Amino acid sequence: MVILTLNCGSSSAKYQVYDWENKDVLCVGIVERIGLEYSTIEQKSAGKEVYEAKFSSPTHKEAIELVLKMLVDEKYGCIKDLAEIGAVGHRVLHGGEMFKKSTLVDDEVIEKLKTLIQLGPLHMPANIMGIEAAKKLMPNVPQAICMDTAWHQTMPEEAFMYAVPYEWYEKYNVRRYGFHGTSHLYCAKRAAVLLGKENKDTNVIILHVGNGASACAVKNGVCVDTTMGLTPLEGLVMGTRSGDIDPAIIPYICNNAGYTVNEMDTLLNKKSGLVGICGKSDRRDVASAAAAGDAKAALAMKMECHKLKKYIGAYSALLGRVDAIVFTAGVGEMGDQIRKGACAGLEELGIKLDLAKNDLSHCRNAETCISADDSPVKIFVIPTDEELVMTEDAYALMEGTYDVHTNFHYTFESPDYVNKARARGLKGNLEKNPAIESIIAVPPAKKCCCGCGC
């Protein structure tokens, strides 16, 4: 049996097929430009040629139809029959206060999701369209939804409430929800494994840094605070999002520049952050421009690192004891300059980065430790795996064994867990750069019996 996961964005659909019995990824793919003049698809099945094509996809229905067709394609596919799909897991941006854990989909659930569209107008319609399309094309296959907000439901009131009129919460559900939840869940539990600790005894700060970015404070294995709020706009400096700003800026600029509220919302979400400062959002482009003497690009990098460092400090105070700092997502996993800037000067907090180890850590197929040997706080780079969280939730829901994460055991919580696809990729990484092996993080339980590392 295989599990299909779907992550439908406003104009895209990412997907993965996972062989449950063999615990291995069979296929990954993405459809882009949905609803535009033409759409594109790229699919990579294990041991097969990469499939790339342009096609017409006015809606997510046509996109998912092609995905299902290509999964069973003799030349490019990964399964022989769609009947092999035992469940489908869908990523959903916003669960509001209705959905505090993953759940199976029925018509009532879909209607409830539609009431949350105003909390995520850019993402929720696409999420729902993907669910409805999959249900129509696979009516007899259990469908599960995994909310980005669910992980953060353990935050206390003092963390999730805003100091605004309380009736805004009662009438309009205004509160901090947090996002990137599946990523934070995966990294928190993997960090506990790498530390050799139980989840309930683990305190970590997770920095999910991609085009979108969020920090999460994890105390005793659960989320107690996070930087994103009612929407994914709040918090860190991001690729195109502003992160934290003085709210008074909004009426000030609207009154002076003549922007409407909706126009300002677009500016803060799509034309701010790094792109607002230097015109570039890809961190590689920003770093290259800064190295070439672009003062605005250099400023943008400093601003991003400043905000990351600021939240590391704030969350260190909140947690009291920090066992590890975790960097994850595209920039967190590959951006050594951002990691360096975020950790610079934090030695008094027990956070000591090893610059040579940090420079080595450019591998998305291994978990690495980049802290100095004498650093009281470990610094890990953990490649996230949101798809695996979705896969395991969907399977457990289908089997009737699922529960909230504090009462549920994921396969990746074992010290013996191996991501087979990444293990294969790591071989190639080590052939090109054998030194990477020296920084691979190893769970204490897998070290020698005497504890000396021999």
At 300, list the tokens: 């943008």
Q: Is the pLDDT of residue 453 over 50?
A: no
pLDDT at 446: 58
Confidence category of residue 9, pLDDT binned at 50, 70, 90: confident
User: β-pairing, 143-147 with 85-92?
Assistant: parallel
Spatial distance between the Cα atoms of 138 and 83, rounded to a whole number of angstroms = 9
Spatial distance between the Cα atoms of 372 and 218, rounded to a whole number of angstroms = 22
- Per the domain annotation, does 311 fall within a domain? yes
Q: Are residues 338 and 217 in the same domain?
A: yes
pLDDT, tens digit (0-9, with 9 covering 90-100), for 247-300: 999 999 999 999 999 999 999 999 999 999 999 988 999 999 999 999 999 999
Q: Are residues 254 and 376 in the same domain?
A: yes
pLDDT, tens digit (0-9, with 9 covering 90-100), for 91-137: 999 999 999 999 999 999 999 999 999 888 878 988 999 999 899 98
DSSP letter, residue 344: T
Q: Are 415 and 160 in contact (CB under 8 A)?
A: no
Q: Are residues 74 and 217 in the same domain?
A: no
- Per the domain annotation, does 373 fall within a domain? yes
Confidence category of residue 334, pLDDT binned at 50, 70, 90: very high
Spatial distance between the Cα atoms of 372 and 73, rounded to a whole number of angstroms = 49
Task: Give the residue numbers spanning the domain of 272.
Answer: 197-381
- Per the domain annotation, does 189 fall within a domain? no
Q: Are residues 42 and 124 in the same domain?
A: yes
Output the domain CATH number for residue 212. Answer: 3.30.420.40
Q: Are residues 259 and 201 in the same domain?
A: yes
Q: Are residues 220 and 141 in the same domain?
A: no
Of 381, 405, 434, which marks where a domain is finished? 381
Q: Which residues of 126-142 are buried (b: 16+ CB within 10 A; e: fewer)?
A: bbbbbbbbbbeebeebb
Residue 148 annotated in active site = yes
- Give the number of domains in the chain: 2
Active-site residue, selected from the candidate residues 24, 73, 107, 148: 148
Spatial distance between the Cα atoms of 344 and 353, rounded to a whole number of angstroms = 8
Spatial distance between the Cα atoms of 62 and 38, rounded to a whole number of angstroms = 12
pLDDT at 451: 43
Confidence category of residue 445, pLDDT binned at 50, 70, 90: low
Q: Are residues 243 and 105 in the same domain?
A: no
Q: Are residues 72 and 142 in the same domain?
A: yes
- Per the domain annotation, does 157 fall within a domain? no
Spatial distance between the Cα atoms of 369 and 126, rounded to a whole number of angstroms = 37
Q: Is the pLDDT of residue 449 over 50?
A: no
pLDDT, tens digit (0-9, with 9 covering 90-100), for 210-232: 989 999 999 999 999 999 999 99
- Per the domain annotation, does 345 fall within a domain? yes
Q: Is the pLDDT of residue 454 over 80?
A: no
Q: Where are the alpha helices (DSSP H) in 73-226?
A: 107-114, 124-137, 157-160, 166-172, 181-195
Beta bridge partners of 24: 19
- Per the domain annotation, does 153 fall within a domain? no
- Per the domain annotation, does 57 fall within a domain? yes
Q: Are residues 89 and 207 in the same domain?
A: no
pLDDT, tens digit (0-9, with 9 covering 90-100), for 134-154: 999 899 999 999 999 999 999
Of 381, 416, 439, which marks where a domain is finished? 381
pLDDT at 121: 82
The residue type found at 131 is I
- Per the domain annotation, does 348 fall within a domain? yes
Of 107, 125, 147, which marks where a domain is finished? 147
pLDDT, tens digit (0-9, with 9 covering 90-100), for 41-91: 999 999 999 999 999 989 888 999 999 999 999 999 999 999 999 999 999
Q: Is the pLDDT of residue 374 over 70?
A: yes
**Centroid of chain to Cα 383:** 10
Radius of gyration of the chain (CA): 22
Q: Are residues 127 and 18 in the same domain?
A: yes
pLDDT, tens digit (0-9, with 9 covering 90-100), for 399-434: 999 999 999 999 999 999 999 999 999 999 999 999
Q: Are residues 13 and 112 in the same domain?
A: yes
Mean pLDDT of the chain: 94
Helix (H) or strand (E) holding 307: helix 295-319
Q: Are residues 114 and 228 in the same domain?
A: no
383-387 long-range contacts (CB < 8 A, ≥24 apart) are 383/328, 383/333, 383/422, 384/183, 384/186, 384/187, 384/208, 384/328, 384/329, 384/333, 385/186, 385/412, 385/419, 386/7, 386/91, 386/182, 386/183, 386/186, 387/5, 387/7, 387/16, 387/18
Q: Is the pLDDT of residue 40 over 80?
A: yes
Percent of the chain topping pLDDT 70? 98
Terminal-residue alpha carbon distance, the chain? 40
